[in-house]
Structure 1
């Protein structure tokens, strides 16, 4: 019986240095690949997300995203990886439209290889005191570690995330969460992740340093999260903590994959996340 294979690549997003940033699987010509096979490919590649790209009419594409455990509606770093792959493979630049499970989103590829994804319109929801206390317990921090004047809430720009502010960068780096508790909390709230952040940063050019925990979708810690950082940027602009403009967010230091995420929020709360990426390998994955 003849063997069949599918071309796959791995792209490190939010960096130009291999083995930094956040690795995403990319399947460029995904039309005709059934959902069961997509899930198997995502599990085999074992990146936090793998993106499957289908090309439509000129300037339009369809992206679908899978963790090793399940399909998710949107993923920022995998989108950056996908746009980088289109830029690198087809020398595309300029504006395109991408169909996702959260709707049709405008994206952009600049001449220098920086790529941008427009996120869904932001939405916000308060967390009650009992749920805040549960999140703090699951993170194994004290109430006094939580920053009292930064947003501690649910925010959405494509996926729902729990935003948790800490005072100190050292506290953030030393986190050792109870993942089973975080998973239960996320499932109860319908959230994709617990996104913990501080305004203490490694680099002077950065606005925020973050870590992201997504055990409910099979990823204990995601090195870099475009959607969650976009939601965080919108939350901080809404609260008047930062100005509506382009910012640099740091992530990945805690697991040895440092990188920088560009977060742009406009005055009317349009949210875009961007960055660069580097292809680490491209190969044929045998499927039968």
Structure 2
């Protein structure tokens, strides 16, 4: 007898279908073993698929898989999961979510805006040789790098390499050497190389970004909640932006524009938020 699992695909950080970042969502994941979870993630072929288990009232567990491997945390898939809980169960308010980086408080607002609290930020400087290797792998010149913005490793759940460019045009024209970036990320224990500029498409935005994650099987991620949270923390820590709610742009370069809300408080509590839209629901046959 054939068995199936209900899955959905949700476009996060947008309210427009086919924009934002698509994530797979499995709402009732209890009893699905890791091997099958990996197969589902590969079949859906989103950059990440999130598997949701409810442990108690207001208490859940989220686990995240790329098509190639499990990862500890994923911002846009978390937004997709929270949106699905709101849509399927009319859930709102504060909840706790168990992840591989710990228990994180999250919030679903009545209007469908969702927020994930990220892990306490950490920062590490890049050595000169590694920095030069990143610049080379991005196929840019040192003159393209903004000299007074953070170029470092930052963490709010995952380590990301933050690279500041002076110009938006240079960011849009990037054609990285993905194999080299993957090797650098593996060596440093980083999930991605997150490139950003303070030049934006829209006047109300603070930063424009692109994210390259070939080490976990995703050459370019349309929208990255964790990396943008780490970037927001880094920019506040360096005194570049004020501790408050900001709008970060991403996805223009690959035709999936969207907006990530990044909130950093005076005491460096980092939250990432946004809205989402369900693109489809389906029954995925597993045997």
TM-score normalised per structure 2: 1.00
**C-alpha distance in 2 between matches for 1:262 and 1:102:** 21
Cross-structure match for 2:180: 181
Cross-structure match for 1:110: 109
Cross-structure match for 1:150: 149
User: 3-state DSSP class of the match of 1:85?
Assistant: helix
User: 3-state DSSP class of the match of 2:110?
Assistant: coil
Matched, 1:19 2:23: no
Cross-structure match for 2:200: 201
**C-alpha distance in 2 between matches for 1:35 and 1:162:** 29
**C-alpha distance in 2 between matches for 1:134 and 1:76:** 27
User: 3-state DSSP class of the match of 2:175?
Assistant: coil
Cross-structure match for 2:45: 46
User: 3-state DSSP class of the match of 2:182?
Assistant: helix
Cross-structure match for 1:4: 3
**C-alpha distance in 2 between matches for 1:92 and 1:30:** 18
Cross-structure match for 2:236: 237
CA deviations over 1:27-54 (Å, ceiling 9, x no partner)? 0000000000000000000000000000
The within-5 A match list for 1:52-63 is 52-63=51-62
TM-score normalised per structure 1: 1.00
**C-alpha distance in 2 between matches for 1:152 and 1:190:** 16
User: 3-state DSSP class of the match of 1:116?
Assistant: strand
Cross-structure match for 1:82: 81
CA deviations over 1:42-75 (Å, ceiling 9, x no partner)? 0000000000000011000000000000000000
Cross-structure match for 2:99: 100
User: 3-state DSSP class of the match of 1:274?
Assistant: strand
**C-alpha distance in 1 between matches for 2:154 and 2:215:** 17
**C-alpha distance in 2 between matches for 1:145 and 1:132:** 13
Cross-structure match for 1:253: 252
**C-alpha distance in 1 between matches for 2:111 and 2:29:** 26
Cα RMSD between the aligned structures?
0.2
User: Unaligned regions of 5+ residues in structure 2, if any?
Assistant: none
**C-alpha distance in 2 between matches for 1:199 and 1:111:** 32
**C-alpha distance in 2 between matches for 1:83 and 1:56:** 15
Q: Deviation of residue 95 (structure 1)?
A: 0.1
CA deviations over 1:258-279 (Å, ceiling 9, x no partner)? 0000000000000000000000
Cross-structure match for 1:286: 285
**C-alpha distance in 2 between matches for 1:111 and 1:30:** 25
Aligned length: 287
**C-alpha distance in 2 between matches for 1:9 and 1:143:** 43
User: 3-state DSSP class of the match of 1:56?
Assistant: strand
